[in-house]
Amino acid sequence: MSVVFDSNSSGGAQAWREWPLVAAGLLALYVPTFYDLAGGLWQNDDHAHGPIILGVVVWLVWRERAALLAAPARAARGTGFALLVLGLLFYVVGRSQDINVLQVGSLVPVLAGVLLAMRGWTAVRALWFPLLFAVFLVPFPNVFVDAVTGSLKQNVSAVAESILYAAGYPIGRSGVMLTIGQYQMLVADACSGLNSMFSLSALGFLYLYLMQRKSVLHNALVVASILPIAFTANIIRVLALILVTYYFGDEAGQGFLHGAAGMVLVMAALILLLFFDAVLAKVIRPRSPA
């Protein structure tokens, strides 16, 4: 149970004077963390979206600053301090043991705890989406990546082989190894599509938030479509790489065009997502008030 305090005008003014100190504390905690990530994990292609997600979170908080400032001060200090202590515990363990999932993941409970302790639930509601979107900063733990990647690679290679075989291409498969003509291609971890699913999920949630669709069904269907669309886009990417290799040689497939395939993936996924959203907008119209 949380204890709720009504803040009078002088108390509210005092709370706002404390924000610079709170901001300084948050910067002292997380600037070293993000600095280390910028020089390490974020240099990896699998996590290159990290700085973009962080920038979007900061922009979203700035975008909602008016709603935050207008929120009445009803501090839920019991719940707020509990969340803050939990988040700081995650941070200390993650920082001391170099566990990124805990260190970065602590940001959400720390921010939510600060908002609750200083302004209450109205402040949390004002910043609910930036808090949710900050979850996309948290890197996947290796045990999860290893468990999911293998299955995705098997499925991607099987679907790609079936499509090209049905189209008449001389292709065979052994596990995640594809043979087309004289070329052999290994469906590597980067081609599993896990990162594309993660990135498209972030883009999809951000898109829905900015579009402010009124229909719950519309939003639910778009969210449900994100993972299938990401998987389909990754199939398109793998097919493009296979065909480039088949027609233009291994160097073309592994060189410049291999990098361009990432753009093919992003563009295909976004086009499919926007097309599906546009179709739903035509089919599902929010009810007008009687």
Query: Rounded to whole angstroms, how far apart are CA atoms 117 and 79?
Result: 7
β-pairing verdict for 74-76 and 4-6? antiparallel
- What pLDDT is stored for residue 179 in this prediction? 92
Query: Rounded to whole angstroms, how far apart are CA atoms 119 and 103?
Result: 25
Question: Looking at per-residue confidence, does 106 or 281 come out higher?
Answer: 106
Dump pLDDT digits (tens) for 185-208: 888 777 777 887 888 889 899 999
Query: Rounded to whole angstroms, how far apart are CA atoms 249 and 258?
Result: 12
Dump pLDDT digits (tens) for 212-268: 888 899 999 999 999 898 888 888 888 988 998 898 888 777 765 556 767 777 788
For residue 102 the two structure tokens come to: 């805990």
Query: Rounded to whole angstroms, how far apart are CA atoms 96 and 189?
Result: 29
pLDDT interval class at 125 (50, 70, 90): very high
Inter-residue contact 264 to 234 (CB < 8 Å)? no
Query: Rounded to whole angstroms, how far apart are CA atoms 84 and 79?
Result: 9
119 is known as an active-site residue: no
Q: Which residue's structure tokens are 């202590």?
A: 85
125 is known as an active-site residue: no
Inter-residue contact 48 to 40 (CB < 8 Å)? no
Query: Rounded to whole angstroms, how far apart are CA atoms 222 and 2?
Result: 35
Cα of 181 vs its chain's centroid, Å? 38
Dump pLDDT digits (tens) for 140-185: 887 888 788 888 889 999 999 999 999 999 999 998 899 998 888 8
Nearest Cα residue to 73 out of 126, 1, 143: 126
Strands of the sheet containing 171-174, edge to edge, are: 171-174, 177-180, 183-186
Beta bridge partners of 174: 177
Catalytic residue among 17, 237, 285, 287: 237
Catalytic residue among 95, 119, 191, 285: 191
